[in-house]
Structure 1
Amino acid sequence: MSSKTAESMRWHHDGRIDDGLLRHLADSLAWKSFDQKFPRFAGVPRNVRLGLASDGFNPFKIMITSYSTWPVVLVPYNLPSWICMKQPSFVLSKIIPGEKDLGHDIDIYLQPLIEKLRQLCAGVQTFDVLIKENFNLRAALLWIISDFPAYANLSGWSTEGRYARPCCVAETCSMWLYNEKKL
């Protein structure tokens, strides 16, 4: 509904210099690959591309307690590079407090957010103040940003044991250390 925000959300399509240099995520191979795979989504510059960032921390700085808090932040990557990584652009979508480390149970807390993201992927009617018309806004989650232990929680993939490297899967080269009794 804000003309300034609406114009900035189209910047990746209308205002970005495409000179082959990596200056914005829209210049990345992942963004371009997504555009090729989903040309109908890419054909509408108002559609939103999101990143999700999360990590758990102990807010009380007391290491003897297992209390943890997980902020879940959405980052709209359509915005210009000098705006999208600034705090006012972040969307704090959820704060998950817990008496213990959430581990793989985080998916239970993320279900409402996932449902909202699915609705956005299908499209929701909204108003474009720049051209003064309603349109079907869609959003896609392109990236998840986390450290390696949080990656295990968010993706459900084990980052421990024989297949700890998700990019290698079964081709992971691991070795059992007999004296240490670990991989």
Structure 2
Amino acid sequence: MFMCPETAIAMRWHDSERPNDGNIRHPADGEAWKDFDSMHPNFSKDPRNVRLGLSSDGFNPFRTMSISHSTWPVMLMNYNLSPWICMKPEYMTLSMIIPGPSSPGQDIDVYLQPLIAELKELWEFGIETYDAHTNQTFQMRATLMWTISDFPALAMLSG
């Protein structure tokens, strides 16, 4: 995200360009974002640190109920970006696809373990990243702010 100068600038939108008029039009305007910033000032002092949302839901890719199959994409959304681009497909990350004859159920944690390990590493240590806008490297960290799902997926994701 930071290798393209235009995208590197867009990654700071929540900090530098977001209107501060009291209206809620982006998660950064909400209380959860502000509470997170007050609880984790070291993270929030660099606006390039990434705030993510995770979404997952199952579907039958064959469009027929006579074939028993379930596919669960796990997507990450980048909330550093403005509302008009953060939900565009080119800015979403398909983290994994969980295929199977049925939904993963309570075993979804087995599939999510590698993703959780990477997110923990990005939270605790970060990763050295090049910022093409400023022409310098920085230690980018990331956090998972929210999960977005329907109630059956929420039951699975929360264990």
- Cα drift, residue 62 of structure 1: 2.8
Query: Which residue of 2 is the match for residue 8 of structure 1?
Result: 10
Kindly, what percent of the aligned residue pairs are identical? Answer: 56
The counterpart of 1:141, out of the listed 144, 148, 152, is 144
Residues paired across the two proteins, number: 156
Unaligned runs of 5+ in 1: 157-183
Deviations 1:17-64 (A, max 9, x none): 111110111101111111111111011100000000100111112324
Check if 1:132 corresponds to 2:145.
no
Aligned with 2:153 (options 150, 153, 156): 150
**Cα distance in 2 for residues equivalent to 1:85 and 1:73:** 11
Which ranges of structure 2 fall in alignment gaps of 5 or more residues?
A: none
Q: Which residue matches 1:84?
A: 86
CA distance in 1, matches of 2:57, 2:41: 32
TM-score (norm 2): 0.94
- Match for residue 113 of structure 2? 111
Task: Determine which structure has greater relative contact order: mean sequence separation of CA pairs < 8 Å that are 6+ residues apart, divided by chain length.
Answer: 2
Output one character per residue of 1:99-138: Cα deviation in whole Å (capped at 9) or x when no partner: 2221111110111111111111121111111111111000
Helix, strand or coil: the match of 2:84? Answer: helix
RMSD of aligned alpha carbons: 1.0
Q: TM-score, normalised by structure 1?
A: 0.82
1:35-46 equivalences in 2 (<5 Å): 35-46=37-48
Give the structure with higher Rg (CA): 1
User: Is contact 2:122-2:140 (8 Å) kept?
Assistant: yes
